[in-house]
Amino acid sequence: MAIQFPIYLDHNSTTPMDPRVLEEMTPFFLNDFGNASSRNHAFGWAAEKGVDNARAQVASLIGASPKEIVWTSGATESNNLAIKGAAEMYASKGKHLISAIHEHKAVLDPIKRLQKQGYEVTWLEPGEDGIITAEQVQDAIRDDTVLVSLMWANNELGTINQIPEIGAVCKSKDVLLHTDATQWVGKMPTDVEAAGVDLLSATGHKFYGPKGCGFLYVRRRRPRVRLTALIDGGGHERGMRSGTLNVPGIVGVGAAAALCEAEMSDDAIRLGKLKKKLEDGITAKLDMAVINGHPTERLPHTTNISFPYVEGESLMMAIKEIAVSSGSACTSASLEPSYVLKALGLGDELAHSSIRFGMGRITTEEEIDYTIDKVVTNVQKLLDLSPLWEMVQEGIDINTVEWGAH
């Protein structure tokens, strides 16, 4: 089969919308365009029916009740509502929060804002495998802890935290657990009841749905979780999130959730094999390549590989017909290595040289074969040009080099 270029291997950043999802959404752009809050006529009823159906589809995907799903604009808003909403609602119980240093910015920044407002935060640090354990949470919980916020799976590494075990710890201590499950939901089986999760954030565009629409799961019983709203207005979404609902988006997220529920176990098996092929193909030919994170506790479709002595951005330019992302965030003023990889204790040279490969529903075996070949060839070329590689061969310790703004 002929390969279509460019090849898309950045599914952790966003996924292509499944055409079957668009099909479900189209009527709600055109004929069923009503406001889901208009209770007086058929246009409103049709919109409300679409929203209710999607609520049931999303609830089914995560093992929740439809009444526990609050629609948002995406996971960033869901994280903000969960973290700030719970911290404010339960401030009389205490002002201590627990999170981890390698969370997504959409969790780190709301918590840092609360820190400025007088909340105390315990920042857990992962081991070299990138995982936060239940034991770490158990040791960090205090009498005044009101919320633990930890992601289910890491966006850069694909590593999986011990969420069900952490849920059990939180339940035993009467502390709320929020999980940013943006990379997890729709890829892996999710049961918020079994995992003891009280608040869960996710977004449609990470599981083949539309952008700009996500949800927050808010537990209704044992315990009934209450949140202070961030957006005030007409009291939509049980008063937690006012604003006219994005009906086509919501219908799309529901349709995408239903497809994931039906297909994700087959997808996971297929993508797990492709990931293994990619990792084995690269490491067999480049013995300096390092796979980051836990060897097995990772999502089936994600791998993060460091190529020591090769600058990540240069490698991305060399393989520009393959869409991947680099572990380092490059700006014109500075070149800072990925804070996620630094959290694992990786030195600058490894953190600077990492590439994340994210596979998905559209990924083919031919694309993986091509990627292995292209990466290996270009890493070998870049090593020949690398001043770092030269320094290593001259016996210079790279760890003594100071990386600064330039």
Catalytic residues: 330
Residue type, 303: T
Q: What is the DSSP string of 102-154?
A: TS-HHHHHHHHHHHHTT-EEEEE---TT----HHHHHHH--TTEEEEE--SB-
Would you call 396 helix, strand, or coil by DSSP? coil
Is residue 162 within 8 A of residue 179, CB to CB? The reply is: no
Report the first-to-last Cα separation within the chain, whole angstroms: 45
Cβ–Cβ under 8 Å, residues 292 and 337: no
Q: Are 215 and 70 in contact (CB under 8 A)?
A: yes
Q: From the DSSP assignment, how many helices (H) and strands (E) are in the chain?
A: 13, 15
Angstrom distance (rounded) from CA 161 to CA 143: 24
Which of 278, 276, 274 minimizes the C-alpha distance to 361? 274
The CA distance from 24 to 351, in Å, is 42
Query: Which secondary structure element, helix H or strand E, spans residue 193, and what is its range?
Result: helix 192-195
- Which run of H or E residues covers position 383? helix 365-385
